[in-house]
């Protein structure tokens, strides 16, 4: 009588191993076994910061935080006309931020802090009637303050 070949022996051993594993009940691990029957409910969370952390948060809030975005450029030219255009724009749109900057040899007047091109398109549509030469430019914008 001939014995089992090594490949047959391995197949039998793996088969027995699989049957032994399937016969056992699965174990349900609990991270906190004493809280198995708790009921979810509202609670209070309290954060306590040291004075150093509060100083850092205050200093961080005072800085201007810039990110990539879009503005609408409504004027490019001499300083006097740029300031006049700025006053005119602010009278009609006091809630929209205005930025006057100098890029040799001209002053440029850009308005808005738009995060997306779609927001900039909306702003351009609003100002195009008063300032027909306006166009959208990519720029670093200031993030709105969150109080």
Query: Could you report the per-residue pLDDT of 53-112, keeping only the tens digit for each?
Result: 888 888 877 777 788 999 999 999 999 999 999 999 999 999 999 999 999 999 999 999
Fold of 63-142: Alpha-Beta Plaits (3.30.70)
The answer to whether residue 2 scores a pLDDT higher than 90 is no
Binned at pLDDT 50, 70 and 90, residue 1 comes out as very low
SS3 122: helix
**141 in Cβ contact with 70 (< 8 Å):** yes
| Whole-number pLDDT of residue 26 | 65
Q: At 135, give phi and psi (nearest 5°).
A: -155, 160
| Whole-number pLDDT of residue 120 | 97
| Whole-number pLDDT of residue 58 | 80
Query: Could you report the per-residue pLDDT of 20-64, keeping only the tens digit for each?
Result: 766 666 666 666 666 666 677 788 888 888 888 888 888 877 777
The rounded distance, in Å, linking the Cα atoms of 33 and 40 is 16
> Domain limits of the chain?
63-142
Q: What is the DSSP string of 33-92?
A: GGGTT-------------HHHHHHHHHHHHS--EEEEEEEEEEEE-HHHHHHHHHHHHHH
Question: Which tokens belong to 133?
Answer: 């030469």
| Whole-number pLDDT of residue 99 | 97
């Amino acid at each position: 009588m001939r014995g089992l070949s090594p490949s047959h022996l391995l197949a039998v051993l793996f088969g027995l191993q699989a049957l032994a594993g399937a016969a056992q009940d699965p174990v349900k691990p609990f991270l906190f076994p004493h809280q198995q029957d708790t009921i979810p409910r509202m609670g209070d969370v309290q954060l306590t910061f040291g004075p150093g952390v509060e100083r850092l948060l205050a200093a961080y809030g005072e800085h201007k935080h810039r990110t990539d975005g879009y503005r609408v450029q409504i004027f490019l030219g001499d300083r006097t006309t740029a300031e006049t255009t700025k006053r005119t724009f602010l009278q009609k749109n006091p809630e929209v931020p205005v930025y006057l900057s100098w890029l040799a040899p001209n002053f440029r007047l850009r308005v808005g802090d738009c995060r997306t091109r779609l927001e900039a398109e909306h702003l351009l549509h609003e100002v195009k009637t008063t300032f027909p030469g306006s166009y959208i430019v990519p720029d670093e914008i200031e993030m709105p303050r969150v109080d």
